[in-house]
């Protein structure tokens, strides 16, 4: 992607976050989706902004967006499409702890080639992927502060080398499964961290943690943007069962259930994978 395209997508995520914060600051109603998960008008408001922006700038690229799919609108896609989660971490949104995110990812031939994750209440933004510079393509990942609608204090991020004294492992604040707890219990863990939404993936990318196992249900739009940031920072997101790289697919005639993810593990260093296999 070009710098102009990246700048546009980052600003789009920030604009959606600004709309979310307006609703976050006031009383709002909570509804339930068909699967029982919560949804608010902030989800729809943010998605409306993102869809309009993508249609204007990338009119030929299909968009698979969470709330549209929930309403029965899942477009046919080819090798290249956007995955959008306008508000990941609705439970964190309801708890008012700020740990929710806006997620926009570009998928190309099954791989997340760019992603931006904005955490509007925390004033943080992460992005990364295959960036075009002088005709060459290179994977890079960055973070910055959201200030007045712009991004300040930009710095590159990368995964870290696992420390000898033990791993920092991330677990979901709201969705810890027995399988995940059992896997963590078999590892040499120095600290276990919890944070909401796709921030877990971004923390792995930024070297704040070594590992994020997710042996519980998720959807493709929940993780695609964060996955792009992890890969651009030098890490990997792999299938928990085989340790093969995660691949994104929307089959012909797909329905929502076809976009459910298999269990996965995000790692900063692939050298951890043999230990994970022995712990499984």
A 10 A CB-CB count for 228 gives 33
pLDDT band, residue 280 (cuts 50/70/90): low
Supply the pLDDT for residue 181. Answer: 83
pLDDT band, residue 133 (cuts 50/70/90): low
**Farthest-apart Cα atoms in the chain, separation:** 50
- CB of 268 closer than 8 Å to CB of 206: no
Which positions make up the binding site?
66, 85, 87-90, 222
What six digits make up the tokens of 31? 């509804």
Which positions make up the binding site for substrate?
66, 87-90, 222
- The CATH architecture annotation of domain 167-279 reads 3-Layer(aba) Sandwich (3.40)
- The CATH architecture annotation of domain 3-156 reads 2-Layer Sandwich (3.30)
179-191: average pLDDT = 87
pLDDT at 90 exceeding the cut of 80: yes
Averaged confidence pLDDT in the chain: 92
CA-to-CA distance for 259 and 224, rounded, in angstroms? Answer: 11
Going from N- to C-terminal start, the domains of the chain cover 3-156, 167-279
241-270: average pLDDT = 95
CA 145 and chain centroid, separation: 18
252-277: average pLDDT = 92
DSSP tag of 51: H
102-115: average pLDDT = 97
Which positions make up the binding site for Mg(2+)?
66, 85, 87-88, 222
What six digits make up the tokens of 269? 């260093």
pLDDT at 202 exceeding the cut of 70: yes
CA-to-CA distance for 128 and 113, rounded, in angstroms? Answer: 8
Q: How do 136-147 and 167-172 pair as beta strands?
A: unpaired
């Amino acid at each position: 992607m070009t710098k102009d395209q990246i700048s546009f997508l980052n600003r789009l995520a920030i604009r959606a976050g600004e709309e979310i914060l307006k609703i976050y600051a006031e009383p709002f109603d909570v509804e339930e989706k068909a699967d029982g998960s919560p949804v608010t008008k902030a989800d729809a408001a943010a998605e409306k902004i993102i869809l309009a922006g993508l249609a204007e700038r990338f009119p030929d690229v299909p968009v698979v967006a969470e709330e549209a799919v929930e309403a029965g609108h899942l477009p046919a896609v080819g090798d290249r499409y956007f995955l959008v989660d306008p508000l990941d971490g609705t439970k964190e949104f309801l708890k008012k702890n700020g740990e929710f995110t806006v997620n926009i990812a570009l998928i190309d031939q099954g791989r997340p080639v760019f992603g931006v994750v904005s955490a509007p209440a925390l004033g943080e933004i992460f992005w990364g992927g295959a960036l075009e510079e002088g005709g060459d393509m290179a994977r890079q990942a960055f973070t910055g502060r959201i200030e007045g609608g712009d991004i300040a204090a930009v710095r590159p991020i990368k995964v870290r080398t696992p420390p000898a004294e033990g791993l920092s492992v991330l677990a979901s604040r709201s969705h810890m499964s027995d399988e995940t707890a059992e896997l963590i219990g078999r590892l040499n863990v120095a600290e276990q961290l919890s944070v909401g939404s796709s921030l877990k993936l971004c923390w792995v990318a930024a070297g704040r943690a070594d590992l994020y196992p997710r042996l519980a249900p998720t959807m493709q739009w929940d993780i695609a943007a964060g996955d792009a940031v992890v890969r651009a920072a030098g890490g990997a997101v792999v299938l928990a069962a085989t340790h093969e790289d995660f691949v994104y697919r929307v089959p012909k005639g797909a329905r929502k259930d076809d976009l459910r993810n298999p269990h996965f593990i995000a790692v900063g260093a692939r050298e951890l994978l043999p230990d994970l296999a022995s712990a499984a």
